[in-house]
Structure 1
Amino acid sequence: MRVLHTSDWHIGRTLYDKRRHEEHTAFLSWLADTMVNRKVDLLLVCGDIFDTISPGNKSQEIYYSFLRKVIDSGCTHVVVTGGNHDSPSMLDAPKQVLESIGVHVFGSCPKEPEEEVILLSDIHGQPQAIVCAVPFLRDRDVRDSIEGSPNEKAQRLVAGIGAHYALIQEKAKALRKKIGKDLPLIVTGHLFTTGGKIANGDGVRDLYVGTAAEVSSSLFDSEADYVALGHLHVPQIVGKRETVRYSGSPLPMGFGEANQQKQVVLVDFQPDSLFPVIETIDVPTFQKLQKISGSLEEIETQLQTLTAVDRSVWVEVSYDGTLSPSVLREHLDRIVEGSGVEILRLENIRLTDHVLHPDSWQQTLDDLDEREVFRRRLSSEDLENGEAELLTTLYEKILFSLQEEQT
């Protein structure tokens, strides 16, 4: 059996004012072709299919058109699990219809955990694999009590996540034993494992309040043949276990990921082998992003190099100088005029620590996320020891509650 693991598509995402539908369409077309060429039997999509809980019509069209194309191409099964950016109810709405054509969707956590354990069969009806299809586990899914301090709540949340995985993995192992065949046991997840790597500006939203909810890779059973994870955008192996991986996002979510090679993971299970053969496949670059920085002369040189190549490039400029924003913008726009280079953002390095001051780099709230705005607001206050940490914890609770209400 051949499995392809991907996650964190974030269909509908924008980069500043740029919509990225063309990139997502190009990626999914490449992915469908890759699946045909590599004869993939099972596609795993591990969360954050969409960038928001209310994806527009175009985003949904891209998603459903891809699913139809994949099923028509001969792939036997698709397993889609929801992420923290996804709306569980929106993903689950066509669940029964999609299941009839081999697409198994788990936008939310089922009432009965054993429903997350699915047995996949080949076209002849023979058992092929067992998948523990676990979506993003929300606070309400795994924690019994809401009383206690933030730390106590976070600890109970982590314990609840661990108990959930332990339960469904035991049920999966029991099913495999009952069938009497050494079927591949695959586990999915959308979470943050301890030690996971992220990139600056990658847009990864904290899943839970505080850092205590980072989970250890030990919660994945040693008998699991492969663990397919989503949420972190940097492709990586977890806990030095080759079979526990984040595939990473297929597109760079921001300029912090501009030079990161994106990938999907191909997992081959052979009947005569104890371990799967794992191969990473590089994803092509569909829209080049470039960060440039320095003095005016250094920026001019870098922009002229980019404009000399006939290619679309979106650029983020970090300027270390004293020119006014309007003068600099006009000057740089003249350099890139008529080329495929487009400057999406200008930043003055000397002023980035200021709090949205009129003389700062004409930064707007669109350039910042909710945590950065709060951090800058705190830095402008004369607070006693411990007050900033307490206020940050309370603010994280509020953000988490709002995110929960939206989903």
Structure 2
Amino acid sequence: MRLLHTADWHIGRTIEGRDRLPEHEAFFDELIQITKDESIDAVLMAGDVFDSVNPPAKGEELFYESMARLADGGNIPIIIIAGNHDHPERLSAARTLLRKQEIYIQGYPTLTPLRVPVRHKDTYLNIAALPYPSESRLKESFSHEEDELVHRDAYDAKIHHLFNTLTRSFSSDEIAIAMSHLFVAGGSGTDSERPIEVGGAYTVRATQLPDNVQYTALGHLHRPQNIKHAKAPARYAGSPLAFSFSETGYAKSVSIIDVEPGKTATINEVHLSAGKPLVKWHAEEGLSEVHQWMAEKKDANAWIELEVHVTDSLTMEEIYEIKKSYPGILTVRPIFPEFEYEYTVNRKHVPIEELFSQFYKRQTGGAMPDEAVTRLFLELLNEEGGEPS
């Protein structure tokens, strides 16, 4: 059997206020084509379908229409679990209708595994599906444990128990898969994931993942990666789009899993072309270099974070004109020559104007506030009741 593992779609997410729905539309077109080209038998979606518990209507419409196309009238079963960004009840509200197309959605953790028929293979796919297992969704609290390590171990043991229960009936005569949306210790994250652990309390050890399955499909981390030290193959598929500039340079993909009963799964990647890349521009020669790149249409199909070396502060009008002239540029950060951050040892003996000047320099990358800005700050400070102690 050939499975496709994907996760972390985050439909409805924007970047610096820019709509990314067209990129998601292109991704779904590509995903559907991949299922045909790779002869996929079933699709595993490991959580974070949407970016918020209240996604935009157009995002929900895109999701349902794309799932109907992907399922191909029930020929390709789709198994979806809720992630930490999803509203469990809202995500699974249409599950009765969707089940008729062999689309299975699970919002809350349960102790019952899924047994999914794969029609054209005349067999079943057994899945230990564990949607995002937070304390509130498990309806169980570990917070009474004051010791963070005790809290973490208690949560770790709970996840192990849930997987043991879900996989108890699995047999080596059939294909058995686990899937969940959680943070496994040792995984490599980016800036674009919303933390689901507090001080490591929601971290699960790789050895706690089930060993009586042929593959564990994971969601939450946006960088595709295998999990070391797991007793059976386990992997994060990663997100289909780059959501922060910490993901610059990382290829996006879906994972293809070939599996037979009683045999070790084999894993391959199919890289994605949909979605704009996120790139960083470092214009060391100043605005002239920026204008040259814009004239060359450099990275025309990308989202751009711009750092430009300047000697004087850029006005809001100049920044606006740059973004207007080249819509892919999301942020403009001026870099000033030979700037070193200054830190005051004893702020009690430093005039408030100097403290503000130091703060302004740190926030702008080295620019000095002019007299009007400083005066406005002092006026606002006086309105608030005086200098800070």
Q: What TM-score results when the alignment is normalised by the length of structure 1? A: 0.76
Whether 1:135 aligns to 2:138 is no
Q: Secondary structure at the match of 2:89?
A: helix
| Distance (Å, rounded) in 1 between the aligned partners of 2:176 and 2:63 | 27
Instruction: Flag the 1:119–1:44 CA change in 2: closer, same or farther, 3 A.
Output: same
Task: Structure 2: give runs of 5+ residues left out of the alignment.
Answer: 344-355, 366-387
Residue in structure 2 matched with residue 269 of structure 1 by the alignment? 259
Q: Conserved in 2, the CA contact under 8 Å of 1:307 and 1:341?
A: no
Amino acid at match of 1:121: P
Tell me which residue corresponds to 2:240: 250
How far, CA to CA, are the matches of 1:352 and 1:98 in structure 2? Answer: 57
How far is 1:357 from its partner? 5.3
Match among 160, 163, 188 for residue 165 of structure 1: 163
Instruction: Among all aligned residue pairs of Structure 1 and Structure 2, give the percentage whose two residues are the same amino acid.
Output: 26
Which amino acid in 1 is paired with 2:119? I
Match of 1:211 in 2: 200
Post-superposition shift, 1:76?
A: 2.6
One-letter code aligned to 1:260: Y
Structure 1 segment 168-247 matched on structure 2, within 5 A: 168-171=166-169, 173=170, 176=171, 182-199=173-190, 201=191, 203-239=192-228, 243-247=233-237
Deviation, 1:217, is 1.1
How far did residue 351 of structure 1 move? 9.2
Deviation at 1:73, TM superposition (A): 6.2
Does the Cα contact within 8 Å between 2:225 and 2:237 map onto a contact in 1? Answer: yes
**1:25-40 residue pairs with structure 2 within 5 A?**
25-40=25-40
Q: Secondary structure at the match of 2:189?
A: coil
Deviations 1:215-237 (A, max 9, x none): 11111222210110000001001
1:361 matched residue in structure 2: 364
Looking at structure 1, the residues matched to 225 and 291 of structure 2 have their Cα atoms a distance apart, in angstroms, of: 32
Change (3 A) 1:276 1:161: closer
1:129-168 CA-partner distances (Å, limit 9, x unpaired): 2111111001130635542316143432232222212221
2:145 corresponds in structure 1 to 148
Out of 239, 259, 263, the residue aligned to residue 249 of structure 2 is 259
Distance 1:138 1:319, change over 3 A: same
CA 307–251 in structure 1, closer or farther in 2 if over 3 Å, else same: farther
CA contact (8 A) 1:3 1:43 kept: yes
CA apart distance, 1:75: 3.7
SS at match of 1:68: helix
Distance (whole Å) between structure 2 residues aligned to residue 48 and residue 303 of structure 1: 39
Aligned to 2:279: 290
**Larger fraction in helix:** 1
In 2, Cα distance between equivalents of 1:212 and 1:353: 36
Q: Distance in 2 between matches of 1:210 and 1:299?
A: 43
- Following superposition, the deviation at residue 18 of structure 1 comes to 0.2
Q: Deviations over 1:303-358 (max 9, x none)?
A: 6346424733321113454421317x627946x875x5532112246699999956
Structure 1 SS opposite 2:133: coil
Deviation at 1:299, TM superposition (A): 6.5
**Counterparts of 2:253 and 2:212 in 1: how far apart (Å)?**
26
Q: 1:285 to 1:257 in 2, by over 3 A?
A: farther
CA distance in 1, matches of 2:364, 2:159: 43
- C-alpha distance in structure 1 between counterparts of 2:287 and 2:131, whole Å: 44
Residue aligning to 1:369: none
Q: Can you list the C-alpha shifts for 1:70-93, whole angstroms capped at 9, x where unaligned? A: 122664310000100110111111
RMSD: 3.1
Q: Structure 2 CA distance, aligned partners of 1:92 and 1:236?
A: 28
Conservation of the 8 A alpha-carbon contact between 1:36 and 1:74: no
Q: Structure 1 counterpart of 2:244, which letter? A: G
**Do the aligned partners of 2:5 and 2:256 also contact (CA within 8 Å) in 1?**
yes
Query: What is the aligned length?
Result: 346
**In 2: Cα distance, 1:65 partner to 1:164 partner:** 33
Is the CA contact 2:152–2:203 (under 8 Å) kept in the aligned structure 1?
no
Residues 353-382 of structure 1: per-residue CA shift (max 9 Å, x gap): 9999566339xxxxxxxxxxxxxxxxxx99
Give CA deviations for 1:177-227 in whole Å, capped at 9, x if unaligned.
Answer: xxxx6211100011111111123x3x2111122113211111122221011
Structure 1 residue ranges without an equivalent (≥5): 363-380, 383-407
Match of 1:344 in 2: 330
Q: Could you tell me which residue of structure 2 aligns to residue 123 of structure 1?
A: 119
- Taking the aligned partners of 1:166 and 1:223, their CA distance within structure 2 comes to 9
Q: SS at 1:51's partner residue?
A: coil
Q: Residues 245 and 306 from structure 1, CA distance in 2 versus in 1: closer, same or farther, beyond 3 angstroms? A: farther
Give secondary structure in 1 for the equivalent of 2:168: helix
Q: Which amino acid aligns with 1:17?
A: G
**In structure 2, do the counterparts of structure 1 residues 135 and 351 end up closer, same or farther at CA, with 3 Å as the change threshold?**
farther
Amino acid at match of 2:15: L
Which residue matches 2:346?
none
Alignment-mate amino acid for residue 28 of structure 1:
F
Deviation at 1:96, TM superposition (A): 1.4
The amino acid of 2:117's aligned partner reads S
